Amino acid sequence: MQFQLTKEFLSELETSLEANNESQVVALLEEIHAADIAEIVEELDLNHAKLLYSYLDGNTASEVLTNLDEDIRDKHVSSFTPKEIAKLFIENLESDDATDVISVLNDKKRAEVISNIEDQELAKDIVHLLGFREGTAGALMGKELVKVHESWSVKQCVVEMRKQAKDLDHIYTIYVINDKEVLLGRLSLKKLLTTGSSTKIADIYSTGLKTVKTNTPSEEVASIMEKYDLVALPVIDDLGRLNGRITIDDVVDVIREEADKDYQLASGLSESVESSDNIWILTRARLPWLILGLIGGILGAKVIGVYEEQLRIAPEMAFFIPLIAAMGGNVGVQSSAIIVQGLANNSLGMEGTFIKLMKELGVALINGFVCAGLIFAYNTVVSDTQSLSYTVSIALFIVILFAGLFGTIVPLVLNKYKIDPALATGPFITTLNDIFGLFIYFYIGRMLYV
């Protein structure tokens, strides 16, 4: 069912664009959804893309634009004049998408675009929305919604909804307000369809609507909509007045981005990158963590260096350096990941930190016992030196205990101080666990080899 972009299609399109053959381009794209056209546009160079926009109707062109990858979208927008941006894109978009597009421009160009918007209502809405900080409900919300007054009758309500619906693609919820624009509740479509036309709205609307404030963080918005299975969520100001609504499709993006961010941190990427980004962007995202790993490696070398004498006595201790280091890292990442995911999904439950640590201790004891036992058995069979068997097993056991507890505490502490707990799963903590593991290993080695 999904559109699949082929090289043949792309080259056919590029040839038609090269030839300025508008009708052929339009014919090629006719049956294709704007979200798919966006994927095509991402593969075109800027001039071809601009030509293509000019062939599309305003609705499609603007929908294509909002579906583009952010970097490409910003580049495209900036290449048009303020007047073109207003006519071709902004006037065809809903207020939240329009605000997203405008927000990438500098102040001067932004003002010019806004002054070129014919629809004064939309211009006002955009100016209002531009005022909210990114990452809050205010920045996520749109102004397009259907609101009815509690004093209206069902009949009057339908008439008014007809007027309001003209500007809407989709009616998510019918909001009920009072004289002061304060949000009172919602009117279900079912009620509207099944109630006599003289009934007052005040008698049939339902209360207990979930709401957020304009300054609610977008992560919280996402978690509320996800938990309560909401399709749209009204946004109110401090006086309880209805300011706008957030729709689930915008929140799906927030959820996806959040999950991606945690994943990136866990895999040592410092910013959101895609494999189609260029080499410089990819390097920039990866080099910082590698240098951190390098510093960790140097510290590890220092720790081992301290025990150089021990290595001369027992060079076979070097064999198990990778094992000790790797296991510390693995255990730490595992226990951090469980906490990080619990924080992200709000599923940590009621247990206090102490109980969590006790449980982690239990898990670590089992894991430590099994792993230390296995490696002891292996070494007893394979190695001649009994001291080595004892050293590796005891060190491994301690490392598993320590890394497990450390991995549990760190994300909880980071979260308490409002630092992204996912940092705990990144190379930083792994490296610390490595170094601690090496220290324990050699310390025990020196005690046992007499």
The interface with a second copy within residues 344-363 (CB under 8 A) comprises 345, 347-351, 356, 359, 362-363
Rounded to whole angstroms, the Cα distance separating 377 from 381 reads 6
By CB under 8 A, name the one of 202, 293, 401, 449 that touches a second copy: 293
The interface with a second copy within residues 181-200 (CB under 8 A) comprises 188-190, 193-194
Task: Look up residue 304 and give its two tokens.
Answer: 């081992």
By CB under 8 A, name the one of 20, 378, 416, 447 that touches a second copy: 378
Q: How many residues bind a second copy (CB under 8 A)?
A: 130
Assess contact for 332 and 404: CB atoms under 8 A: yes
Assess contact for 440 and 398: CB atoms under 8 A: yes
Q: Is 421 in the site for a second copy (CB under 8 A)?
A: no
Q: How far is the CB of 131 from a second copy (least distance, A)?
A: 22
Q: Which residues does residue 142 pair with via DSSP β-bridges, in sequence order?
A: 245
Q: Are strands 183-187 and 174-177 parallel, antiparallel or unpaired?
A: antiparallel
By CB under 8 A, name the one of 135, 217, 240, 342 that touches a second copy: 342
Q: How far is the CB of 112 from a second copy (least distance, A)?
A: 29
Q: Which is nearer to a second copy, 83 or 318 (CB)?
A: 318
By CB under 8 A, name the one of 95, 99, 216, 389 that touches a second copy: 216
Q: Is 249 in the site for a second copy (CB under 8 A)?
A: yes
Rounded to whole angstroms, the Cα distance separating 116 from 98 reads 13
Task: Look up residue 39 and give its two tokens.
Answer: 């994927």
Q: What letter represents residue 79's amino acid?
A: S
Considering only the stretches 21-29, 101-109, 213-221, 413-421, report the one whose residues sit in contact with a second copy under the rule CB under 8 A: 213-221
Q: Which residues does residue 193 pair with via DSSP β-bridges, in sequence order?
A: none
Q: Which residues does residue 136 pair with via DSSP β-bridges, in sequence order?
A: 217
Rounded to whole angstroms, the Cα distance separating 195 from 174 reads 15
Q: Which is nearer to a second copy, 116 or 330 (CB)?
A: 330
Q: How far is the CB of 83 from a second copy (least distance, A)?
A: 28
By three-state DSSP, how is residue 147 classified? strand
CB within 8 Å of 410: residues ≥ 6 apart:
336, 421, 424, 429
Ordered strands of the 242-247 beta sheet? 212-213, 232-236, 242-247
Closest CA to 358 of 413, 327, 404: 404
Residue with tokens 């069979």: 381
By CB under 8 A, name the one of 19, 46, 291, 419 that touches a second copy: 291
Considering only the stretches 46-54, 105-113, 238-246, 281-289, report the one whose residues sit in contact with a second copy under the rule CB under 8 A: 281-289
Q: Is 180 in the site for a second copy (CB under 8 A)?
A: no
Considering only the stretches 74-82, 88-96, 99-107, 340-348, report the one whose residues sit in contact with a second copy under the rule CB under 8 A: 340-348
Q: Which is nearer to a second copy, 105 or 236 (CB)?
A: 236
Q: Which is nearer to a second copy, 83 or 168 (CB)?
A: 168
Q: Which is nearer to a second copy, 156 or 188 (CB)?
A: 188
By CB under 8 A, name the one of 120, 305, 417, 418 that touches a second copy: 305
